[in-house]
Amino acid sequence: MEVTDAIEKAKNNDQIAFNFLLDKFWNTVFGFQLKRTENENDAEDITIQTFSKAFDKIHTYNDKYEFKTWLITISKNIHIDLIRKQKSTITSSSKEDDEYYTLIDESPSPEDKLITEQNLAKLLRDIKKLKPHYQKVINLRYFQELSYKEISKSLDEPINNVKVKLLRAKKLLAEIIKKQ
């Protein structure tokens, strides 16, 4: 499959085309972020976010530009946004350093336990509204607590696909929860 063909198919929500583009450009974007962040976990997280955002916005891609350049630009912007968030967090936490806090008993009360159980039941109902393959990947990751590698073996899919599928599932679940 050619990149231009894959992009056109991806614009029509062709999952095979998404997988092709992910496999083709994963190392490029990951390598770019690894040089910028010098941290494999951060580079991987940003790369996952990059592909998720790119696939969500693929219909806005302009073929006058290289697809690789478009992905790198998205990746760079995500990294810049993360740095800004970290700087604002550091600034706000450093202002609080001079204050003293009293320790509070944080063990859950019976009411807290009941609320947690009700929230879990609601969350499970919301998860059931997702497509089965998204339900499965969320179940494997968060309820069975499997690693990405274990999920990849269980689903017989590449690990990068699992990461992107999980990110999409979380976004869809967030949208379901926001609507209520």
pLDDT tens for the 180 residues of the chain, in order: 799 999 999 999 888 999 999 999 999 999 999 999 999 989 999 999 999 999 999 999 988 889 999 999 999 999 999 888 888 777 665 555 555 556 566 677 777 677 777 787 888 888 899 899 889 998 998 888 889 899 999 999 898 888 888 888 888 888 888 887
The arrangement of secondary structure in 3-95, i.e. its CATH architecture, is Orthogonal Bundle (1.10)
What's residue 144's pLDDT?
Answer: 87
As annotated, the residues of the chain forming the CATH 1.10.1740.10 domain(s) are 3-95
Rounded Cα gap, residues 150 and 142, in angstroms: 13
What's residue 99's pLDDT?
Answer: 57
Rounded Cα gap, residues 162 and 1, in angstroms: 22
As annotated, the residues of the chain forming the CATH 1.10.10.10 domain(s) are 106-179
Residue range 106-179, CATH number: 1.10.10.10
The residue with tokens 């062709």 is: 14
What's residue 33's pLDDT?
Answer: 93
What's residue 47's pLDDT?
Answer: 93
Closest CA to 57 of 21, 84, 33, 28: 21
Instruction: For residue 90, give the amino acid letter.
Output: I
What's residue 36's pLDDT?
Answer: 92
Task: Name the pTM for this structure.
Answer: 0.56
DSSP 37-102: H--HHHHHHHHHHHHHHHHHTGGG--TTS-HHHHHHHHHHHHHHHHHHHHHHHHHHHHHGGG----
